[in-house]
Structure 1
Amino acid sequence: MGVTAMGLVFWPLSFLFWNRPQRLLELALFGGIFSAASVLTLGGMGLQPSAAPSFCFIAYIGLQVLLGARFPMAGRVLHLCLPLLVIGAWTLAGSIILPRVFENQVLVWPQKLDAVGTQMLLAPSRGNYTQDCYVILNLVMFVLTSLFLMRREADLRRLLEIYILGGAVVCLIGAWEAAERLAHVPFPETFLYSNPGWAILNTQMTGPVPRINSTYPEPAACATALTGVLYATVWSVLRGYGGWITRAVVVLSALTLLATTSTTGYVALAAGIVMLFAYAIITHSPRLLRRLALFISVAVLFFGGATATLAVFAPDVIRAAQDVMTGTMDKKNSLSYKERSQKDADAMTAFYQTYGLGTGWGSNRSSSLLPGFLSTIGIIGVAGLFFADWQLLRAAIVAIRASGRRQSTEAWVIEAAICALLGRIMGSVISSPSLGSLDFYILVAMLVAATVRLRAAGRQPASVGADG
C-alpha cells in the first residue's frame, strides 16, 4: 500500500476542503479525467483520484444526514433516485444469489484480479464483493450529491463548467503526449499512469501515427470520455448556452478525439451526428436547423482549410491520415477485435444459459456494455435500467417544457448532462464493460437536482450568462 504522486495532490486538497462540499464535488468531478492514475495503491488495485474527495464528501454529508440535517425537496429528489436504487438493490442481491444458483454450470471470464487468462466455471468470487463495493460507493455518492445540490449554496453551473474545463485539460494533456511521442518532449507518465489495476496502452501506433490516450489507460477510454464532452459542448453551442470557452472545447475535443484514432470514438461521433440531424428534423425547429447548418459549415471550412494547408506544406501528414483511416477500417481483422468480440459472444452465451437472469454482478467480464449487463444483472436488471433512465429523462423534459424552454442555469445543466451521459453511454456500448466511475454518477446527480430545481422554479428560471 502506498500514496502516489497524484495522491500527494488529491489527498491534501480533499482534507483542506473537508467542510466545503461544493469544492469536494468539483474536485471529484475534475478528478474523473485522471482515469489511469491512482491516489492510493492496494496490492494490484489503485484508488482513482475521484475517490479521495468523494470519501470526504460522503463523510461530511453523511454525518449531516445522521444528525438530522434537512435538505430542500428531499422527497422529490429521492423519488427520482428510487428506480436506480431499486436496480442497485437487485444488483447486490443478484451478486450473492446468482453465482450460487448457477455455480459450476456456466463458463465466465473473471475480473482482472481473478484472471487466469481463460474462462472459468461460475462460482462466488472476490470479484463479486469488490464490484459490489463500487456499486454501493457510486449509489451513496449519487444520492448524497443529489440531496446536497438542492441546497442554496450548491452551484450547479460551477460543476458544469468544471466538467467542460476537465475536457479541455484532457485535450491539452493529449497534445502534450503527442509532443512526447513525436518530439520526445518530457511527459509525466509516472504521475498520470500510476494505477496498477489498469493495463496502460500508451505506446500504440496506427501506421506512422501515435495513438493518443491522454489521461486515460487506452485510446478507446479517452475517446469515450471525449465523446461525452463533445456531445455536451456541441449541444450547448447549438442551443445558445455557454460562451467562448465552450466553443473552444468543441474544437479541442473534436481534434483530440480524432487523434485517438479510436474506432469507438469515430463510431460514437458518427452516431451523434446522425442523432442530431434526426432530432432537428423530427422537432422541425427552424432555429436549431439554422444553427446546425451554420455549425457544420464552419466545421467543413475549418477542416477543409486545414487539409488544404497540410497538403501544400506537410503532405506527409495527409499520407499518415490516410494510413490511419485504412488502419481503422481494417480493425475488424485485428486480433484484439476478435478477442473482444469473442468475450461479448461468451457473455451472451452465459446470459442464455442462466435463462436471462445473469451470472451475478462481478462474475463475468465482457468487452462492451450491453453484453456485460445482460450476462451479470440479466434482463431484469437491464429492463430496470432502461425504465430508470426513461423516468429521469421524461422528468427532465417535462421540467424544461414547464419552464417555457427559456434559457436558465438549470436548463443548461439538464441538457448538457443528458448529452454528456448519452455520449459516455454510447462509447461504453461500443467498447467498455461498465459505467462505474464516480464522475458519471455526479453527472446523473446534477441531472436529478437540476430537474427538481427547474420544476420548483416554475416559469421563472434565472437567466444564464456567457462562460467568459
Structure 2
Amino acid sequence: MTFAPFAAIFIIAWLWVVLRNLEKGITFVIAVLPFGMFAAISLAGLSLLLANFLAMLTIAALVVRRMASRTSGTTVMLPPESRYLVFFAGYALFSAFILVRLFEGDFLVFPLNLNAGTTQVSISYPSAMWLLRPSGSNLSQSFYILLSCGFFLAAISAAKRWGSHVIEFGLVCAAWINIILGILDFLALDDLLAIIRTADYSLANQQQMGGFARVIGGFSEPASFAAASSTLTAYFTMSALIGRKSRDVVLATGNMVCTVLAFSSTGTVALLGAGVLILLHARGFLTNTLSRTFAHALVILAAAVVFATCLFVLLTPATDLISDMIQRLILEKRNSMSGIERRAWAYTAFVAFWETWGLGAGAGSLRGNGLLSVLMGSVGLPGVIAFAGFLYYAVLKPIGHQDAEIQRMFYASRVSSLTLLCSMLLSATTADPTLLLMSVAALAAVSRDASVRVSNNLGRDEETAHQPGMPLQGTDMRS
C-alpha cells in the first residue's frame, strides 16, 4: 500500500474544517471532486481517490456522531428518493455477491479490468472476454456504489441541518478548481499536475484534435473532464439566468470553455443537452422580472460572443477545426476502434440482462457502455426501477412553492443532474452513480423539500387566519 504524500495536506485541511463544523466536510468533498486522478491511497493496483477517501471519512464521522447522540426509540424516516436509493444500493450489493455466483460460467462478459480477459473476440479492438465469474471488481464496485449512496444521504442530512449552501458552496469551489486545473493543463504544466496525478490510471494527456492538445484538467482523460465541466456549466448557467450573479456567469463561461477544449464527444453531447434543458426550463428565468441593467448586460454579452465568434472564424483555421471535430467525434465515431469496442461492451451488457432473466449479472461483473446498458446488465430490472424512482423523486418531480432562491437552486441542480446523466448515458462503464451526481441530486432534493415546507407553512398561516373565532388579518379587535 502506498500513500500520496501531497494528499496529507488535503487531509489535514479536511480535519481542520470538520473539527469546526462536521457538516462542512460535505462541502470539502464536493470541492475536491475535480481532482479526478488524485489518489490518496494505492493498493495492489487499485487507487482510492482523494474525494472518495474523504467522503468515506465524512460519512463515518457523521454516523458516529448520530449514533452517539441518538436517543432510544428514535426512528429515521427516509424520504422517497432516499428509500429508492437505499434499495438500489442494497440490490447492487446482493447482485455483486449472490447473483454473480448464481450465474457463474453461463455466458461471456467484458471484465472491468480490460487486461484480465482470456478471449479476444475481435481484431478490431483489444478488449478480451471471459466467462462470468466473481472478481475483485464486485467488491470494489459495491464499495463505490455504497459510498455514493451514503454520500447522498449525508449531504441531505447536512443540508437540512445547516442549509443548502453546504452543498452549493462546494460546487462553487469545485467550479473554480476545475477551471484552474484546466488552465494548468492547457499550458502543458505536466510537472506541476503530476503532483495530483497519482492514481493507477492510464493518462491520456497527449491526444490532439486538429493540431490542438485535448485538455483533461485534473482527470485522466478528456471524456471525464468534459462530463464534469459540462455539469458545472449547466448548474452555473441556470443559476446565473435566475439569480443574476456575476460570479455564476464567470464560472459558467470558464467551465464551458473547459468542456469545449476537451474536444470530447461525451462533453459535446452533454453541452448540447444542457442547452436544450436550459431552454426547456426557460420559464424558470423568463417569468422573473428582468431588470433593465440585466437585460442590457445580456444583450451586450450576446453581441460580444457573436462578434468574437466571427473574428475567431475569420482570423483562425476554426472552420477546419470544427469540421475535423464533427467528422471525428460524431460522423466517424461509430466506425472507429473505440466506437466498435464500446458497441460490443453495450451489446454484451444487454445479453447479460437477457441471460440472467432480468436480474443482472452483479455490480462490477461486467463492463458496458452507457448507463442504461450497465444498469441492465449489472443490477437488472430491479436496479433500473430503483434508480429511476430515485431520479424521479430527487430530480424530476415538480417543485412546489416558487420562492426565488429555492427556485434558483432547484432548477440549476435539476439541469446539471440531467446534463451529467446525458454524459453517463453515452459513456458510463460502471453502475456507480458517482459523487458528483449525488451532490447535485441532493441539492435538488433539499430544495424541493424546502419548497414543500414553505408551502405548508403558508397554508397553515392562511388556515389559522380564517379559523372561526380568529380575527382576519388586518381586523381591529377593539371595534
> CA 1:230 to 1:169, structure 2 compared with 1: closer, same or farther past 3 Å?
same
Alignment length (residue pairs): 442
Which segments of 5 or more consecutive residues in structure 2 lack a partner in the other structure?
118-126, 459-479
Deviation at 1:289, TM superposition (A): 12
The residue aligned with 2:426 is 430
> CA 1:411 to 1:307, structure 2 compared with 1: closer, same or farther past 3 Å?
closer
Deviation at 1:217, TM superposition (A): 1.3
| SS in structure 2 at match of 1:273 | helix
The residue aligned with 1:120 is 130
> Deviation digits for residues 79-118 of structure 1, max 9, x if unmatched?
5411111121122112222112211111111122873341
> CA 1:52 to 1:17, structure 2 compared with 1: closer, same or farther past 3 Å?
farther
Matched-pair identity in %: 19
Distance 1:58 1:285 in 2: 36
Distance 1:458 1:133 in 2: 38
TM-score with structure 1 setting the length: 0.85
Distance 1:418 1:57 in 2: 25
State which drifts further: 107-116 or 365-374. Answer: 107-116
The residue aligned with 2:386 is 384
Deviation at 1:393, TM superposition (A): 3.5
> Deviation digits for residues 346-386 of structure 1, max 9, x if unmatched?
21122222222211111111122111111011122112211
Contact 2:52 2:147 in 1 (8 A): no
Structure 1 residues 443-462: aligned runs within 5 Å: 443-458=440-455
| SS in structure 2 at match of 1:46 | strand
2:174 is aligned with what amino acid? Answer: G
> Deviation digits for residues 15-66 of structure 1, max 9, x if unmatched?
3334322331111001111111111111211111113332332232111221
> CA 1:414 to 1:75, structure 2 compared with 1: closer, same or farther past 3 Å?
farther
Deviation at 1:262, TM superposition (A): 0.7
The yes-or-no answer on 1:189 pairing with 2:190 is no
The yes-or-no answer on 1:38 pairing with 2:39 is yes
The residue aligned with 1:174 is 182
The yes-or-no answer on 1:8 pairing with 2:8 is yes
Deviation at 1:455, TM superposition (A): 2.2
> Deviation digits for residues 252-286 of structure 1, max 9, x if unmatched?
12222111111111122222323333454xx6985
Contact 2:284 2:407 in 1 (8 A): no
Distance 1:174 1:50 in 2: 18
Contact 1:307 1:318 in 2 (8 A): no
> CA 1:21 to 1:413, structure 2 compared with 1: closer, same or farther past 3 Å?
farther
1:2 is aligned with what amino acid? Answer: T
1:301 to 297, 300, 303: 303
Distance 1:267 1:366 in 2: 19
The yes-or-no answer on 1:406 pairing with 2:403 is yes
Distance 1:352 1:293 in 2: 54
1:10 is aligned with what amino acid? Answer: F
| SS in structure 1 at match of 2:47 | strand
The residue aligned with 2:233 is 230
Contact 1:11 1:52 in 2 (8 A): no
C-alpha RMSD of matched pairs (Å) = 3.0
> CA 1:374 to 1:74, structure 2 compared with 1: closer, same or farther past 3 Å?
same
Which segments of 5 or more consecutive residues in structure 1 lack a partner in the other structure?
462-468
The yes-or-no answer on 1:136 pairing with 2:133 is no
1:195 is aligned with what amino acid? Answer: A
1:228 is aligned with what amino acid? Answer: T
The yes-or-no answer on 1:213 pairing with 2:216 is yes
Deviation at 1:78, TM superposition (A): 4.4
State which drifts further: 426-435 or 292-301. Answer: 292-301
Distance 1:139 1:447 in 2: 15
2:437 to 436, 440, 446: 440
The residue aligned with 1:265 is 267
| SS in structure 1 at match of 2:42 | strand
1:147 is aligned with what amino acid? Answer: S
Distance 1:47 1:417 in 2: 27
State which drifts further: 344-353 or 159-168. Answer: 159-168
Contact 1:10 1:53 in 2 (8 A): no
